[in-house]
Amino acid sequence: MLKKKPKYLDSQFLIRVIKNEVSPEEHEFFLSWLSESDKNKEEFGDLVHLWDLADNSQISEIPNPTEQWDNIQAALNKTPISIKHKPQQIETSVNSPQINYKYSSPIKTDFSWLYQVAAMIIIMIGVFFLIKQNNPVLPNQPRQAAEQQLIINHELTTQKGERKTLPLSDGTIVYLNSDSKLVYPAIFAESSREVEVEGEAYFSVIPDKSRAFKVKSGNVVTIVTGTEFNVKNRNGRVNVVVAKGSVTTYSNGFVEGINLKKGEMITFSEKRGFSSPTKVNLDYFLAWRWDKLAFARTSLNDVMAEVERCYNLPVVFQNDSIRTKRFTGTFKTDSLSQLLSIISLTLDVKINYDGHKVILN
């Protein structure tokens, strides 16, 4: 068990984080380290950006790695080197009918940690060259304009039965629910932080008063400086629920934004616009974050849509008249059979589940 939190993380550990080879406990430990200082977040953002550039660049001419390796080996014989690395993405997977979080086993290597670090230096030298090649800065060119050239948007998607966790370059953590998509930059601009969501995501935003954090979801934009909230954008309807702090939401055609505080929710649709902010039970609306399914007088149609999304199971209604029945309850996501049994008894609905498909009659 990790009891003490050092001022920095050693290179071996951070390389494992980059390669998604850490346990849930180590993952939490890393996130704690990430949030403890602005320096950690800045270094994390820098390396995320470098990794993304290295992964996406098509330039063929880069510094000779053999020559760079020889130079570094010579330097290693004289001076110890310490470099810190950060993760690009941490994923979890969900398999029906139960959720199983899968983590790959540690890689095996004959290199010492010092030579792993040296290999990373070579990568960064090459990437530095790529940045210069792709983004030349003229003497009189504004810095911000040059930084804008470096912004590369990426997409993180989840399938049905899958969830992912992604630390952004500023240290903000995004939890992406099943059947969703997040569009985000490898590194945020100097004056703004903007992402886009389809489906559902929970944001734990690092405070930064100089750069508001904006989440676009359909025609709704949510603005915060540092807080935690959930955005759900499905079937032309957007829900925003605040777990901590406050947020402001607005949409095209609406002059003033609407402020939401902790425990409040707002709903938007193209036909009706914004609802009034209402107090809600966070346990229901944020249940998915804690591996639960929660329903409060939810139509059976919507309940089974969530089951289909969570477990990646096809659901078939053989009688459409039962779709409007209402159901209330909270269940752990590893208890699908229990959920189906209680729905059947409560709503007087016959449900057949063979491990591959759910049929209601």
Provide the pLDDT confidence category of residue 22 given band limits of 50, 70 and 90: low
Which of these ranges, 50-59, 171-180, 329-338, has the smallest mean pLDDT?
50-59
Cα separation, 304 vs 282, in Å, equals 21
Residue 105, in any domain of the structure: no
Q: What one-character DSSP code corresponds to residue 288? A: G
Report, as an integer, the average pLDDT of 2-14. Answer: 58
- Residue range(s) defining the domain that contains residue 333: 291-360
Report, as an integer, the average pLDDT of 197-216. Answer: 94
Four-point Cα dihedral 233, 212, 229, 216, nearest 10: 0
Report, as an integer, the average pLDDT of 192-203. Answer: 96
134 vs 59, more confident: 134
Asked whether residue 88 falls in the same domain as residue 157, the answer is no
pLDDT of 320 reads 93
Asked whether residue 181 falls in the same domain as residue 220, the answer is yes
pLDDT of 355 reads 86
Asked whether residue 116 falls in the same domain as residue 214, the answer is no
Asked whether residue 81 falls in the same domain as residue 202, the answer is no
Choose among 307, 328, 321, 312: nearest CA to 349: 321
CATH number of residue 237's parent domain: 2.60.120.1440
State how many domains the chain has.
3
Most confident of 114-123, 246-255, 265-274, 302-311: 302-311
CATH number of residue 312's parent domain: 3.55.50.30
Residue 183, token pair as written in the block: 């569009």
Preceding peptide of 97 cis, ω within 30°: yes
Which of these ranges, 87-101, 131-145, 210-224, 235-249, has the smallest mean pLDDT?
87-101
34 vs 61, more confident: 34
Last residue of a domain, one of 224, 253, 281: 281
